[in-house]
C-alpha cells in the first residue's frame, strides 16, 4: 500500500531529475555558442589555467561558490509566483535555472579533472549517473505509452490529426489562390 502511494511521487521526482539532466546535456551546445560569441573562451582558458594549479578541494569550492547567488534569485521567483505574479515568477525561475545550469556546465567542464581526483566525488558522480539511469527506467514505460497514443492520434495514414492537417492545407491553398 505504501509503495503504491509513493509511486507517483517517485515518478514526479524521476521526471524532474530527467528534465534537469536533459537541460544539462542540451545546454552545453548553447554555452559553447555563447562562449564563441563573446570572449568567454578567454575566460574559460584563464579559469582552466587557474584551476589546474588548485587542489581538488579548492576546485570543489570553485565549482560550488558561483551557484550560491542564484538561490536568492530563485527564492524571489518563487515569491513572485506565491504573490500571484505567475508569468514573471515562472520567467524569473526559468532564467535562474537556465543561467544556473549553464554556469554549472561551464564550471564543471573546467573543474571535472580535479574533482574526479577525490574518491568520494567519483562515488557521488557515479551515484548521480545510476539515479539518472533509474529515472529513465521509471519514466520509460509512461513515455512509451505517450508515444504510442501520439502515433495513434497522428495516425500512420488517415488518423484524425492527418485529416485535420489535410483540411487546413486545403483551406490554405484556397486562400492563396483567392489572392
Report the pLDDT value the prediction gives residue 97, as an integer from 0 to 100.
79
pTM, full prediction: 0.59
The string of pLDDT tens digits covering residues 157-167 is: 666 677 777 78
The string of pLDDT tens digits covering residues 119-162 is: 999 999 998 888 888 887 877 887 788 778 777 766 666 666 77
Contacts of 55 (CB under 8 A, 6+ apart): 114
Report the pLDDT value the prediction gives residue 47, as an integer from 0 to 100.
82
State yes or no: pLDDT of 20 exceeds 90.
no
Q: Please list the alpha-helical segments (H only) found in the chain.
A: 2-37, 40-52, 56-64, 70-82, 86-115, 119-154, 160-178
- Exposure b/e, 139-164, CB count within 10 A at least 16 = b: beeeeeeeeeeeeeeeeeeeeeeeee
Report the pLDDT value the prediction gives residue 117, as an integer from 0 to 100.
93
Report the pLDDT value the prediction gives residue 135, as an integer from 0 to 100.
80
Contact 32, 113 (CB under 8 A): no
Q: Which has more pLDDT, 40 or 142?
A: 142
Q: Which long-range contacts (CB under 8 A, 24 or more apart) does 1-6 make?
A: none
Contact 132, 21 (CB under 8 A): yes
Report the pLDDT value the prediction gives residue 6, as an integer from 0 to 100.
67
Give the mean model confidence (pLDDT) for residues 65-93.
87
Amino acid at each position: 500500500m505504501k509503495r503504491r502511494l509513493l509511486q507517483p511521487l517517485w515518478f514526479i521526482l524521476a521526471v524532474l531529475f530527467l528534465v534537469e539532466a536533459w537541460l544539462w546535456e542540451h545546454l552545453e551546445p548553447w554555452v559553447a555558442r555563447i562562449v564563441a560569441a563573446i570572449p568567454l573562451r578567454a575566460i574559460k582558458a584563464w579559469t582552466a589555467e587557474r584551476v589546474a594549479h588548485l587542489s581538488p578541494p579548492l576546485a570543489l569550492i570553485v565549482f560550488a561558490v558561483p551557484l550560491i547567488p542564484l538561490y536568492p534569485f530563485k527564492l524571489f521567483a518563487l515569491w513572485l509566483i506565491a504573490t500571484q505574479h505567475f508569468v514573471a515568477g515562472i520567467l524569473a525561475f526559468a532564467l535562474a535555472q537556465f543561467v544556473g545550469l549553464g554556469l554549472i556546465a561551464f564550471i564543471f567542464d573546467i573543474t571535472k579533472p580535479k574533482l574526479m581526483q577525490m574518491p568520494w566525488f567519483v562515488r557521488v558522480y557515479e551515484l548521480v549517473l545510476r539515479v539518472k539511469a533509474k529515472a529513465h527506467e521509471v519514466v520509460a514505460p509512461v513515455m512509451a505509452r505517450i508515444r504510442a497514443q501520439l502515433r495513434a492520434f497522428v495516425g500512420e495514414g488517415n488518423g484524425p490529426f492527418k485529416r485535420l492537417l489535410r483540411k487546413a492545407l486545403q483551406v490554405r491553398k484556397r486562400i492563396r489562390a483567392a489572392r
